Amino acid sequence: MSGCEGVVNYDARHKALEDKFKTILLSLTPEFQDDRGYDKDEPGKANPTVGTNWVGNQFKCLAYTIEMPFKDNDLLPDYSMGWSDIRSSLLGRDFLTGIYHMVDDLR
């Protein structure tokens, strides 16, 4: 998962929203992890043409790029089946549940 940490308008509110969303997701699903991923952009150094960065900066909102595994989850492998449409569906459901729990914090 990649946020918009490096955008010009990133502030304490952004960070608090991101931290809360990650905490919720970690409690909802073992498929979500934040141990492996992209390096965080330095403050003010994010590429503004990347969708997540543009949205987060333009609207001062929680914005993420979420990538799911296509082969398997390295931290929770299923050796017999790998990643599947069922796991994709469950991950999508859990992300929507996470968003539901964030609604009161969003504008």
For the chain, the three-class secondary structure string (H helix, E strand, C coil) is CECCCCCCCCCHHHHHHHHHHHHHHHHHCCCCCCCCCCCCCCCCCCCCCCHHHHHHHHHCCCCCECCCCCCCCCCCCCCCCCCCHHHHHHHHHHHHHHHHHHHHHCC
State the pLDDT at residue 35: 80
Two tokens, residue 29:
């699903």
Tell me what pLDDT residue 16 has. Answer: 94
24, 83 Cβ separation under 8 angstroms: no
Contact 28, 94 (CB under 8 A): yes
Instruction: Give the pLDDT confidence score for residue 17 in this predicted structure.
Output: 93
Q: Where do the structural domains in the chain lie, given as residue ranges?
A: 12-105
pTM: 0.85
The pLDDT assigned to 59 comes to 93
Q: For 5-63, what is each residue's pLDDT tens digit?
A: 999 999 999 999 999 999 999 999 998 888 877 788 998 999 999 999 999 999 999 89
Cα R_g (the chain), whole angstroms = 15
Could you tell me the pLDDT band of residue 96, with boundaries at 50, 70 and 90?
very high
Hey, how many other C-beta atoms are within 10 angstroms of the C-beta on 63?
22
